[in-house]
Amino acid sequence: MREAVAALYRELGARGLNVGNAGNASARHGAGMLITPTGIHGDTVTPEGVVEMTLEGDVAGPGHPSSEWQMHAEIYRADPEAMVIVHTHSDHATALACLNLPLPAFHYAVAGFGGDDVRIAPYVTFGTPELAHAAAAAIAGRTACLLANHGMICHGRDAAGALLTAVRLETLARQYLIARAAGTPRLLTPAEMAAAHERYRTYGQQTRDA
């Protein structure tokens, strides 16, 4: 699992979802978690550098966890379906977050995150318990949320699912910003979104990671 966390963080950088040492990734591990270390660039993180720790902050072995470990821990505590978490500063999701806007139901694929929109947590200083609580509240019942003036966070049932959720959120944020630049996007009605949710429940192998 250490290799999976390290590989996931490297992939976030390779796909341009994070730059330098921005963002972080983690995986549930027993009653605790494995999380990328603080201050490490995506292309240099190794399995040995991944930090094992409890959800209360006790670290097993050497290394210092990401400054956002509390945000990951709070989501793991709140949602038993969250198995892998990704936090990015990807361009378009972050741009939308800096506009202090949620991602609304402009496209049926928004339903794939578990609701009729992707909520935005209010701005709170990074690396604080207050941000952890705000993020956990915004992502409750969903697989992703935006973080005002900061970025985004999402989770999946495995590393591939978490990565796919991050990519899809970044793609939809980009498409929404393009649509807003061209005009006023038509938002889907609650009935249309309800039909989309039903399709997600029954379509192929779709899960909450969709």
Q: Report yes or no: 72 and 35 within 8 Å, Cβ to Cβ.
A: yes
Q: What's the mean pLDDT when you consider all of the chain?
A: 95
pLDDT beyond 90 at 210:
no
Contact present, 157 and 86 (Cβ < 8 Å):
no
Mean pLDDT over 71-94 rounds to 98
Asked if CATH classification 3.40.50.10860 holds for the domain at 2-202, the reply, yes or no, is no
Q: Work out whether the CA dihedral 171, 174, 177, 183 comes out positive or negative.
A: negative
- Residue 126 scores a pLDDT above 50: yes
Each domain of the chain, given as residue ranges in start order, spans 2-202
**Residue 2, class by beta-carbon neighbours within 10 Å (0-12 exposed, 13-18 middle, 19+ buried)?**
middle
Q: What pLDDT score was predicted for residue 202?
A: 83
For the cut 50, the answer to whether the pLDDT of residue 207 exceeds it is no
Catalytic residue among 11, 52, 68, 170: 68
65-104 in b/e form (b: 16+ CB < 10 A) is bbebbbbbbbbbebbeebbbbbbbbbbbbbebbeeebbbe
Quickly list H helices, the chain: 2-14, 69-78, 91-98, 129-139, 159-182, 190-202
Per the annotation, the verdict on 3 as an active-site residue is no
Q: Which of 149, 151, 179, 187 is nearest to 166 (CA)?
A: 151
DSSP result, 161-185:
HHHHHHHHHHHHHHHHHHHHHHS-P
Over residues 148-153, the mean pLDDT reads: 99
Say which residue the tokens 């390779």 belong to.
14
Amino acid in position 67: S
**Distance from the Cα of residue 122 to its chain's centroid:** 15
Structure tokens at 19: 């730059």
Q: Given the structure tokens 């794939």, which residue do they identify?
A: 112
**Structure tokens that stand for 157 in this block:** 């049932």
Q: What is the pLDDT of residues 158-173, one digit of tens each?
A: 999 999 999 999 999 9
Residue closest to 179 by CA, chosen among 97, 91, 100, 105: 105
